[in-house]
Amino acid sequence: MNFTEIAKNRQSCRRYDATRAVEEETLQIILEAARLAPSACNGQPYHITVCRGEAAKQVAKATTAMGMNGFAKEAPVLLVLSEEPYVKTAAFGAKVKGNDYRSMDIGIAVAYLTAEATAQGLSTCILGWFDDMAVRKICGLSSPVRLIVTLGYAAADDTLRVKKRKTMDELVSYK
């Protein structure tokens, strides 16, 4: 798949084949894509906790408040992205420029790993709705959890949807 094909094929998967595990080798390829992602001052201010088995079930439960994300319990792997401190140069830049580079860096890493997962034939859903303190406790983390990614093989009847997006004119302007 080239990148355009990946972008067209990646979609948030909310129906997984719970009987199909993610192969270790494929998981490592996906994690390597995140490792290669760019970040402000190359600081990579994040950590990824790979949750499988009972840990995955517990993390999935922590994403379900108010009826949200019930599908997460079917995903065999949950990747928990937590925030780490800035490197000194990025901390300086963030302060002087009043910009939140860490969130951007985490978003880019997640974009890389979800794209690689698609290229590998797997499906993902990025979750921003979860109980931070509960997930930290399950994962033994002392820093804030920013995103969780469900990872697995989509159910056989989970077909590609038509993408709803802004029009190009809404999205882009030229000066």
Ligand X SMILES: Cc1cc2nc3c(=O)[nH]c(=O)nc-3n(C[C@H](O)[C@H](O)[C@H](O)COP(=O)(O)O)c2cc1C
Binding site for ligand X (CB under 6 A): 11-12, 14, 68-69, 125-129, 147, 163
Q: Which residue, 49 or 124, has its beta carbon nearer to ligand X?
A: 124
**Residue 16 — φ and ψ, nearest 5°?**
-105, 155
Tokens 């009987």 found at: 19
* Smallest separation (angstroms) from ligand X to the CB of 167: 16
* Smallest separation (angstroms) from ligand X to the CB of 66: 11
* Smallest separation (angstroms) from ligand X to the CB of 11: 4
Structure tokens at 100: 């939140």
- DSSP, collapsed to helix, strand or coil, labels residue 166 as coil
Q: Which residue is nearest to ligand X (CB)?
A: 128
Q: Which residue, 37 or 125, has its beta carbon nearer to ligand X?
A: 125
Q: Which residue, 44 or 124, has its beta carbon nearer to ligand X?
A: 124
Q: DSSP secondary structure string, 16-82?
A: B-TT-PPPHHHHHHHHHHHHT---GGG---EEEEEEEHHHHHHHHHTT-GGG--GGGGG-SEEEEEE
- Rounded Cα distance between 26 and 23, Å, is 5
* Smallest separation (angstroms) from ligand X to the CB of 151: 14
* Smallest separation (angstroms) from ligand X to the CB of 114: 8
Q: Which residue, 8 or 137, has its beta carbon nearer to ligand X?
A: 8
- Rounded Cα distance between 44 and 116, Å, is 18
Q: Which residue, 64 or 91, has its beta carbon nearer to ligand X?
A: 64
